[in-house]
């Protein structure tokens, strides 16, 4: 079933290619050569070995915040019947592939596509998940076709894109009419700090601003909530303390990054808190948190 769906997609040709890429089931065939990733012409992605190390720390699969984030996305896909046999789901910003693995496990038979801006993590991921098509994608100049996707999941990516409204317009274009958007971004502009700047965030969002941009792109919002409702007071206090220390010049850039990442490491207390929040979210309004969650329909 997935193989048939992949054949219907008009895969964009990479720079200097003479033929249209063909998905083989384990990579792409381009001009008679195998390519594990469909590379794009996006210029310098800013990728570095240091960033790779930090990303490895931040997206560890057992971090409670990440687990709660992926559970929310899976629940959104299930509630909207947007994944499963005959459906195509793309994750934008697939990084280390944990969300892709969760979708594959929860919805067998789904045609799953992973995409990211930087090529190195996609090349590494292709060795672990060779049966999933991986595409290098600039979301402000996306060359994937119109109306090919039943759902798009984009977690903590939009804040990295300066022209976020153009990115949302491309997401709307790639979704089929009635297709599902599951989006997550950092919340609360007052929390924007050195950590955000160092990891390439252009902004943090209010829910109102995010919702307005999503609606201007032509979506209808079905559900809005927040992630990290119960931990927000502690997180807010931590950020303010870090800002005071930064003003004194007492921390180097790498120390700022690593100290923030360590806060989210696995602990029994965090596991309990985020599990409780996940259970209560369908019934309890969560008007603030460390991240905004939106489910919308094209």
pLDDT at residue 187, as a whole number: 97
Contact predicate 195/256, CB 8 Å: yes
Parallel/antiparallel/unpaired status of strands 291-297 and 220-227: antiparallel
Residue 70's nearest CA partner among 95, 96, 98 is 98
Residue 103's nearest CA partner among 117, 124, 89, 87 is 89
Residue 87's nearest CA partner among 106, 114, 115, 110 is 110
- Average pLDDT of 55-80? 85
Confidence of residue 265 (pLDDT cuts 50, 70, 90): low
pLDDT at residue 294, as a whole number: 98
**What's the pTM?**
0.91
C-alpha torsion sign, points 150, 154, 108, 106? negative
- Average pLDDT of 183-207? 91
Residue 292 predicted with pLDDT over 60: yes
Euclidean distance between CA atoms 97 and 82, whole angstroms: 19
Euclidean distance between CA atoms 298 and 272, whole angstroms: 35
Residue 224 predicted with pLDDT over 90: yes
pLDDT in tens, 146-177: 999 999 999 999 999 999 999 999 999 999 99
Euclidean distance between CA atoms 254 and 258, whole angstroms: 6
Residue 97's nearest CA partner among 105, 107, 87 is 105
pLDDT at residue 133, as a whole number: 97
Determine the length of the chain.
298
For the chain, the structural domain boundaries read: 45-297
Topology, domain 45-297: Rossmann fold (3.40.50)
Confidence of residue 285 (pLDDT cuts 50, 70, 90): confident
- Provide the Cα torsion 113, 114, 118, 121; round to 10°: -130
């Amino acid at each position: 079933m997935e193989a048939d769906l992949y054949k219907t997609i008009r895969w964009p040709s990479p720079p200097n290619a003479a033929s249209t890429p063909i998905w083989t089931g384990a990579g792409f065939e381009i001009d008679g050569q195998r390519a594990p990733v469909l590379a794009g012409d996006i210029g310098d992605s800013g990728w570095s070995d240091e960033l790779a190390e930090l990303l490895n720390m931040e997206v560890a699969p057992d971090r409670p915040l990440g687990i709660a984030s992926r559970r929310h996305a899976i629940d959104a896909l299930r509630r909207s019947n947007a994944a499963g046999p005959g459906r195509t789901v793309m994750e934008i910003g697939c990084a280390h592939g944990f969300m892709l693995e969760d979708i594959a496990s929860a919805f067998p038979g789904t045609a799953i596509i992973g995409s990211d801006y930087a090529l190195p993590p996609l090349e590494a991921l292709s060795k672990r998940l060779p049966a999933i098509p991986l595409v290098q994608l600039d979301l402000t100049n996306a060359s994937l076709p119109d109306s090919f996707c039943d759902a798009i999941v984009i977690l903590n990516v939009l804040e990295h894109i300066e022209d976020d409204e153009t990115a949302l317009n491309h997401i709307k274009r790639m979704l089929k009419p009635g297709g599902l958007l599951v989006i997550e971004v950092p919340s609360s502009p007052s929390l924007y700090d050195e950590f955000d700047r160092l990891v390439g965030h252009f902004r943090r969002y209010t829910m109102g601003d995010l919702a307005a941009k999503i609606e201007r792109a032509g979506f209808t919002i079905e559900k809005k909530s927040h992630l990290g409702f119960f931990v927000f007071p502690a997180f807010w206090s931590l950020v303010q303390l870090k800002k005071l220390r930064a003003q004194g010049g007492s921390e180097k850039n790498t120390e700022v990054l690593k100290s923030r990442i360590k806060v989210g490491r696995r602990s029994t207390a965090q596991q309990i808190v985020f599990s409780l929040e996940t259970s209560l979210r369908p019934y309890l309004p969560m008007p603030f948190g460390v991240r905004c969650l939106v489910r919308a329909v094209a």
